[in-house]
Every structure is written in structure tokens, then in C-alpha cells.
């Protein structure tokens, strides 16, 4: 099993990633850390606790609350037109008894990196503020962490906030730069691949029909929460009854890197304040000199990724 910390700004696709990670037989979810982004960090934390209750995965998964704002800028605020007023498509999930840890997200990451040397995979699917804060506090963790698999950014595909910047990089470029300038081994699962993995209304309908009884509530939540998200992808990207599985793909790649083809490129993050804020600048020249080597996912096996994702929700709960 892969030992993973998932770092989320629990919006709709984050919720799918959380449920997948909780229910996958290939993952031991060491913990979930939360960050501002799609919504405020308090609401992201609340959503996460409720999703853990919904998944009922059979083991305890600690939640540590993290950053409420970027390292060096203002938080631009939630995006209710994409993720709803509560971040999860305005679906009201039952409240959980579980409380977040007293420990902050960055301290939790540091502690687990030391407890699990060489094993821990961190999957940030929101702004990278928590992971950046952790490496700034304790640079020694860079050599202890097995890999950081980031959802965000883009190399060749268009951005989704500015023409060249993706939301998780645009929302805290300085944090992304801390990771890129560190010694952490990094894989970037960006819009080049995530925009190709599309979940359709038909998938959700089929899932609801086929889900085993113990996972019916999860299937129902997936269908209800994704309704407006699918509408948004139609209006903003011309998708036909489908939405992009950004955050789940990063978790899938952390488990099974063979789903993507990567290219190692030297890269830096633009920390300006205009259209290029958060842009990933890859140095693709023959004699590349700028930046550090990062693995970028450029191609993905869409069908296999989707079926691996859906199979976890359709399979009976592990004994």
C-alpha cells in the first residue's frame, strides 16, 4: 500500500479525491491536511471531516487544518460559481463527531515525514502553502519524503485562471516556488493531463445503479455534488455533460505512475503579479539552464484512469 498524505481545499473534485483515497485498497491514508482555495480553510476542514464519515472506510484518518491564506499575498476568496457555497456543490452531508488535530498541517507533515522516512507520498491538490510552510520550517524533510505529486499547473495546455496559469499555482505562486526550489522529488499532474480525464453524467448514473449497498450514499453524493460542476465545465470549456477529474488524477498517479507519460524538464515558477503569476516556465532549450528538474505528466491513459477511479466506488467494501 502507498502511504499518502492528501492536502486538499475541499471543493468538488477534491471531494472525489478524498473519497477515492479513503476507499482505495492500494492506499493507506496517513492523514488529510487542509488549505484555503476553492473555499476557506475552515469549511474545507468541515467538508473533509464529513466526507470521512460518509466513506466509513474502517480506519481512523486524522485531519490537520492548515493555511488560511497564501504565503505572501491576499487570498482571492472562494469560487461558489464552480464549487457551490459550501464547496461541495451545496450538498448537506451529515455532521461528523471527529475533530481536527490540535497540530497544524505543516507540523503534521513534518512529523509524518520523520516517522515514515522514504515512504511518505504527499499529494497536494490545492495551493501548496502547507507543504511549503513545512519545508521552510524543516528543510530536512525534503530528503525524507518519497515524492510530492502535485495537481496543478500546465506546460502546454491553456491555464484556467489566466491564459498561462492554473488555479493552484496562481493562488500561491510563492508556495509553488518554494517546492520547485527545494530538494523534494516532484511530479506535476497539470491541466495537460487532467483536462483529458472526463467524468460524465452517464458514468455517475451507472455508478449509482451498480454501487454496492454500503457505497450507495457515496455514489449518491458524487452524483448530486457534481451536477453544477458539470454544468460549469459545459459553460466554461464546452464539455458535453462532463467534468474534469483534476484532483482524483493526482491520487491515481501517486498509486500507479504507469497511467501517465512524464517528461523531466527544468522549470521555475513566475512570482509576478500580472497574467503570468503562477506560470510554470519550463526551459526546453537544448542547453537548458533555468530551474530544477521536475517530472511533468504530458500524456495520460484516460480510459484506464477513469476505470481505476470508478472501480473503487463500484467494488464491495473490503472485509
What is the set of active-site residues? 9, 246
Tell me the closest approach of the beta carbon of residue 213 to Ca ion, in angstroms.
30
38 binds ligand BDR (CB under 6 A): yes
Residues 79-118 as x/- pattern, contact with Ca ion by CB under 5 A: ----------------------------------------
247 binds ligand BDR (CB under 6 A): yes
Residue among 151, 175, 259, 297 that touches ligand BDR (CB under 6 A) = 151
| Nearby residues of 228 by Cβ (< 8 Å), 6 or more positions away | 84, 89, 90
State whether residue 118 is helix, strand or coil: coil
Tell me the closest approach of the beta carbon of residue 31 to Ca ion, in angstroms.
17
Selection from Ca ion, ligand BDR, none that 106 binds (CB < 5 to 8 A by kind) is none
Q: Which is nearer to ligand BDR, 63 or 110 (CB)?
A: 63
Tell me the closest approach of the beta carbon of residue 149 to ligand BDR, in angstroms.
13
End-to-end CA distance of the chain: 16
Cα separation, 261 vs 109, in Å, equals 28
Half-sphere exposure of 86 (CA within 13 A, CB side): 13
7 binds Ca ion (CB under 5 A): no
Cα separation, 54 vs 230, in Å, equals 22
DSSP state of 144: T
| Nearby residues of 120 by Cβ (< 8 Å), 6 or more positions away | 3, 4, 5, 30, 112, 113, 144, 145, 146
DSSP state of 40: -
Piece in contact with Ca ion (CB under 5 A), picked from 42-50, 63-71, 139-147, 245-253: 245-253
Number of Cβ atoms within 10 Å of the Cβ of 268 = 18
126 binds Ca ion (CB under 5 A): yes
Cα separation, 22 vs 85, in Å, equals 24
Residue among 7, 13, 106, 192 that touches ligand BDR (CB under 6 A) = 13
Q: Which is nearer to ligand BDR, 1 or 81 (CB)?
A: 81
Applying the rule CB under 6 A, the residues between 127 and 146 that interact with ligand BDR are none
Cα separation, 263 vs 126, in Å, equals 22
Tell me the closest approach of the beta carbon of residue 166 to ligand BDR, in angstroms.
5
Residues at the site binding ligand BDR, with contacts judged by CB under 6 A: 11, 13-14, 38, 125-126, 151, 160, 166-168, 246-247
Amino acid at each position: 500500500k502507498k502511504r499518502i498524505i492528501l492536502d486538499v481545499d475541499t471543493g468538488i473534485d477534491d471531494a472525489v479525491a478524498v473519497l477515492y483515497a479513503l476507499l482505495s485498497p492500494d492506499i493507506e491514508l496517513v492523514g488529510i491536511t487542509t488549505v484555503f482555495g476553492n473555499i476557506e480553510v475552515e469549511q474545507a476542514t468541515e467538508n473533509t471531516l464529513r466526507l470521512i464519515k460518509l466513506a466509513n472506510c474502517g480506519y481512523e484518518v486524522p485531519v490537520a487544518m492548515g493555511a488560511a491564506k497564501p504565503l505572501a499575498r491576499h487570498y482571492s476568496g472562494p469560487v461558489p460559481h464552480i464549487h457551490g457555497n459550501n464547496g461541495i456543490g451545496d450538498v448537506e452531508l451529515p455532521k461528523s463527531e471527529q475533530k481536527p488535530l490540535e497540530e497544524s498541517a505543516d507540523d503534521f507533515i513534518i512529523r509524518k515525514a520523520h516517522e515514515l522516512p522514504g515512504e511518505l507520498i504527499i499529494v497536494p491538490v490545492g495551493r501548496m502553502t502547507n507543504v511549503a510552510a513545512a519545508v521552510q520550517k524543516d528543510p530536512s524533510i525534503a530528503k525524507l519524503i518519497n515524492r510530492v505529486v502535485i495537481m496543478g499547473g500546465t506546460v502546454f495546455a491553456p491555464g484556467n485562471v489566466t491564459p498561462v496559469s492554473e488555479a493552484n499555482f496562481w493562488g500561491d505562486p510563492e508556495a509553488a516556488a518554494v517546492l520547485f526550489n527545494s530538494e523534494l522529488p516532484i511530479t506535476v499532474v497539470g491541466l495537460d493531463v487532467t483536462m483529458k480525464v472526463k467524468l460524465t453524467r452517464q458514468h455517475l448514473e451507472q455508478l449509482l445503479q451498480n454501487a454496492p449497498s454500503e457505497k450507495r450514499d457515496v455514489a449518491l453524493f458524487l452524483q448530486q455534488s457534481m451536477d453544477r460542476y458539470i454544468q460549469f465545465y459545459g459553460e466554461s470549456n464546452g464539455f458535453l455533460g462532463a467534468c474534469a477529474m483534476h484532483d482524483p488524477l493526482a491520487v491515481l498517479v501517486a498509486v500507479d505512475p504507469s497511467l501517465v507519460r512524464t517528461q523531466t524538464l527544468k522549470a521555475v515558477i513566475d512570482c509576478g503579479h500580472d497574467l503570468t503569476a503562477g506560470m510554470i516556465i519550463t526551459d526546453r532549450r537544448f542547453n537548458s539552464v533555468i530551474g530544477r528538474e521536475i517530472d511533468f505528466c504530458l500524456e495520460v491513459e484516460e480510459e484506464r484512469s477513469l476505470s481505476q477511479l470508478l472501480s473503487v466506488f463500484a467494488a464491495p467494501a473490503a472485509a
